[in-house]
Amino acid sequence: MCVDGVLSRHHARMSLSFSIMTLAVVAVFLLGCLAITFEHQLHVNKTATALFTGVICWALYLLDVTSLLATDGIPRWFREQALADAVDDVGRAFALEQQLLHLTGETAGLLLFLIGAMTIVELIDGHEGFALVTKHIRATRKASLLWIVGCLTFFATRPVVSAGRRHSLRPVAPADPGGATPGMARNTW
């Protein structure tokens, strides 16, 4: 009877903690979205707001990760390694070492791609590449403009796709007499 009472109080405390922390994270996220929406009125940069919102949400998550992260959400191999390393809080270690590191890597990859894409757009704009295209487009309706831009995009990216396919790597037999890397050869079609 006493054990059941302790378990039900513990479950109620975890349930209350879970709902309060979940509401806090959602509230911070919604406030961040509102701040991004009203960027001009608040005179705050979207990037700064998004970064600040993300940091606060992660901090709130890490404050109470034991109630927010389901125990079965941690892979068995990680739990075994954490027990072997005598980690005190397996949930917090998983959140920091696996989840945060993985998402930071994805964000860094996205930012690297965007920096490259923005550089290309700035180079094209600096050499008036967009002006060259836009002065020849005489569309007056949105539907015709959509079709023109879609067709231009399709045909402009076609050589890039063909070039990528022409130089892709394909698996070959290990004993390649052409001197290429074992197991891989240049595709020449």
**pLDDT tens-place string over residues 98-113:** 888 888 889 899 989 9
Output the pLDDT for position 165: 57
Length of the chain (residues) = 189
Output the pLDDT for position 171: 52
Q: What is the pLDDT of residues 50-79, one digit of tens each?
A: 999 999 998 888 887 777 777 677 888 888
Which of the listed ranges 11-20, 143-152, 177-186 does the model predict with the highest average pLDDT? 143-152
103 with 95: CB under 8 angstroms? no
How much is the average pLDDT of 73-86?
Answer: 83
End-to-end CA distance of the chain: 76
Output the pLDDT for position 1: 42
Output the pLDDT for position 31: 96
Instruction: Please report how many Cα atoms fall inside a 13 Å half-sphere around the Cα of residue 143, on the Cβ side.
Output: 0
Is the pLDDT at 168 greater than 60? The verdict is: no
Output the pLDDT for position 53: 94
Is the pLDDT at 170 greater than 70? The verdict is: no
Instruction: Report the C-alpha gap between 8 and 185 in whole angstroms.
Output: 64
Exposure string for 154-175, b = 16+ CB within 10 A, e = fewer: eeeeeeeeeeeeeeeeeebeee
Output the pLDDT for position 118: 93
Output the pLDDT for position 49: 93
Is the pLDDT at 127 greater than 60? The verdict is: yes
Tell me the Cα Rg of the chain. Answer: 27
Instruction: Report the C-alpha gap between 93 and 85 in whole angstroms.
Output: 11
Is the pLDDT at 47 greater than 80? The verdict is: yes
